[in-house]
Structures are given as structure tokens and as C-alpha cells.
Amino acid sequence: MSVPAYLSPAAFGGSVLAGYCITIMSPMALLIGEVVHLSAAQVGELTASTVIGSVPGAIVFGRLADASGGRISAMLAAAVTAVFSVASTLSSSIPLLIVARVAVGVGVGGEYVLANSLAASLVPQAVRGRVLALNWGGGWLAGEFLGFAAGYFSAFTSAGAAWRIVAASSALPAFAVAAFRIRSNRDIARPQPPVSGHAAGRIGDSRLRTIVYGSLNYVCETSPFYALSVLEPVSLHSSTGLSAPRDVELSLILLIGAPMGVAATYFLVDRKGRLWLNYVGYSALAAAIGAYIVTGSTEGYLGFVLLFALQFLTWFGPSITANTVLAELWPQGGGTGAGVSSAAGRLGAIATLLVFPVLVSRLGLALSMAYPLAFSLAGVVFTYIFGVETMPGKASVNAG
């Protein structure tokens, strides 16, 4: 039985690669911390390095996709990621490692723009939401799980070699994705109007609004996501004082809640629509974070249950619909618009990666949760003001 083109490694592999490259920075920071002391600020700089590179990468590869086609741009993005993943293992200092991982991030930025756009250009409209939820949510989740697993197993090697093994490992999925794309003869079809034509009449008249919504939605989604999921091993290490392997192990256990969030989004996204999931997802996540702050629980059964619930809610709704909406706003011939919105979202991720570890080290994990809480509440407000429904058959600009 043939695999649908939109779930082929050429398209689906991009989200796995992006999730892997971003996620491994957290266990890598813990492994380096076993060898040399890293301040909270240095941990933030190291974990943010790949995301920093993704900002110009999203814009550059988005423009390149418009000029020469998505397939060529996607192949180059994967190749850049692979080459600099290997180069980063040769770093002799933290600043050089950060520079190398920023270069890796340039390629990852291309994946943010192109992975879902490639899938969106191939998928039937009737199941687009579900497929993009599976493509990005499931793909990133697979990458995050593999990234945590790589950090966990590398921790049992020699201290000096462990982080280099993790750094080099991101070259493997990058080379694989590049190879699949070289063999693929599919491209992102161009040109097409914004929102793939099914809502171009009303939404297309307000292109600036789609960019504003795509950007703000991405910022409000990425900030809690990076604080509660990507940075979880670092946050747990600061609050529990456990060893690096134990913190990564606990993160892997808590990550079980993530596929439940992806599955719930998968079944609801084409039934309820993107805006409904945004409202419910942001509101429920804010309520769960508020409960964690009020109880102040970081240990014991209650703390575990709340952290598990936060993993579920982090992966439910906006964390997936933000990417779905972005691909639907500019699925074909709109790499520049998608690149601008994606780059804006990366700025929110960078701020989180730099600020949140410092907050946890100074205030503890419970009080630091006020940071993702603020962005979750802002997500509700911005969805009401700027929200764009891109679900086929319901596409419209929010009346708010």
C-alpha cells in the first residue's frame, strides 16, 4: 500500500527534523553542565541558539521557495542542518558551539516554513486540518521523543563525549530528509492566492491581518510550548536537583501526555474548526497553569498529575493549529508571508529560552509558570481580535 504524498518522508520528515534539532539542545545543555559549570543565562543562550538561527532561516528559505520552488529550498534547508550539525561537534568552547548551532537553526527555520506548506499543497481540503495536525504535531512529537531519548542514552557514555554525540546525531535525520527530497519529484505548487482560495475573497482583502494573526498566534503558542515542553528537562533539573539522566527520564515519562493532546486535536480540528481549538486550548492551558501556581506543587503525586496535564494541554489546540493555520494562510506561493509569521513566532521562543531558565533558577518552577500563563491568556485575546478561521467551509475573519 502506497503512502500518501503528504505523509511521505519528504514532507513528514521535516517536522520530525525540526522537533529533534530544537529538543536536543535541552539535554545537551544538561550534559555539558556535567562537565563544566553553566549559569542559568548560559543554559538559556545554548538552548536558544538553534531557534535564533531559525529566524533568518525562515525568512530566507521562505523567499527562496517563492523564487525557485519549495522542493529546492527544502533540500537546501535539510543540507544546511546536516552539515552544521557535524561541524558543531568540533566546537572547542561554548561560544563556538552556540555559533554552530545557530547555523543549524538556519536550516531548521526552513523546515518551519516548508514542511507543512509542502504537505498542505498535496493534501485534500476535506482532511487538511487532521493531516496537518498529524504531520506537524505527530512529526514534532516524534522528533522531541527521539531528542530526549538521544540525550538520555548519551548520558551513559563518557562525560566529555556525551554532548558531542547528541550534537552530531541531528545530522542523521537531516541527511535522511535531504535524501528523500532529492528523490522526490514533488514541489509546492505555485502561484496560489492566500488561504488556498477557499476564503481568499474576504481574508485575501486583509493580507496584513493574516500576517498579524499568524505572527501573534505563533508567539502566544511557542512561548508556553517551549517553557513547558522543550525546556522541561532543564526546568526539572533546577527544581528537583536530580541528575541529568533522571531529569531527562522524567521528561520522557511526562511526554506520554503529548500524543493524547495531538490525538484530541486530530479528531477535533476538522469538526470544530481552528478558532474553537484556539479558544479552548489557550483557556484550558491557562487554567491548568493557574492551578499549578496556586498549589505550588513541584513534587509528589499532585505535582506529577499537574505536569502530566500540562504536557497534554501544551500539545492540544494552539501548538498544532498555529502551524496548521500558517500553512493554510499561505499553502502555495506564499513562502514570504509564512516566513515572516514563523520568524515572529521564533522570537517568542527565543525570549522564552533565554528568560525562563533564569526565572526558574531564581523563583522556582511554580512561580515561574506566570510567564507561560501570561502568553496563554494573551492568546485568547489575540484570537478574538485578529482570529482567522481557515477551515474549509467555515473560512472567515473573526467578527471580533
For 9-25, the pLDDT digits (tens) are 556 677 888 889 998 99
Segment 117-128 mean pLDDT: 66
Predicted local confidence at residue 157, as pLDDT: 81
Query: φ and ψ at 269, to 5 degrees?
Result: -65, -35
The superfamily (CATH) of domain 5-397 is MFS general substrate transporter like domains (1.20.1250.20)
For residues 109 and 53, the answer to whether their CB atoms sit within 8 Å is yes
Among 64, 63, 66, 106, which residue's Cα sits nearest to residue 84? 106
User: Which strand (E) or helix (H) includes residue 388?
Assistant: strand 388-389
What is the distance, to the nearest Å, from the Cα of residue 310 to the centroid of all Cα atoms in its chain? 16
- Give the least confident one: 47-51, 133-137, 174-178, 375-379: 133-137
User: Per-domain residue ranges for the chain?
Assistant: 5-397
Model confidence pLDDT, tens digit, residues 176-203? 887 777 776 554 444 344 444 333 333 4
For residues 234 and 248, the answer to whether their CB atoms sit within 8 Å is no
Contacts of 249 (CB under 8 A, 6+ apart): 152
Q: Could you tell me which residue, 356 or 156, shows the higher pLDDT?
A: 356
Inform me whether the pLDDT recorded for 377 exceeds 90: yes
Predicted local confidence at residue 199, as pLDDT: 39
What sign has the CA pseudo-torsion 173, 100, 62, 143?
A: positive
State the DSSP string of 195-234. Answer: GGGTTHHHHGGGHHHHHHHHHHHHHHHHHHHIIIIITHHH
pTM score of the predicted model: 0.74
Predicted local confidence at residue 202, as pLDDT: 38
Predicted local confidence at residue 155, as pLDDT: 78
Model confidence pLDDT, tens digit, residues 70-79? 667 778 888 8
Model confidence pLDDT, tens digit, residues 104-117? 999 988 877 776 66
For residues 45 and 66, the answer to whether their CB atoms sit within 8 Å is no
Predicted local confidence at residue 394, as pLDDT: 60
Contacts of 162 (CB under 8 A, 6+ apart): 31, 34, 154, 155
Model confidence pLDDT, tens digit, residues 327-371? 666 554 445 566 677 777 778 888 888 888 888 888 888 888 899
In a 3-state reduction of DSSP, which class is residue 330?
coil
Predicted local confidence at residue 354, as pLDDT: 87
Predicted local confidence at residue 344, as pLDDT: 76
In a 3-state reduction of DSSP, which class is residue 193?
coil
For residues 311 and 254, the answer to whether their CB atoms sit within 8 Å is yes
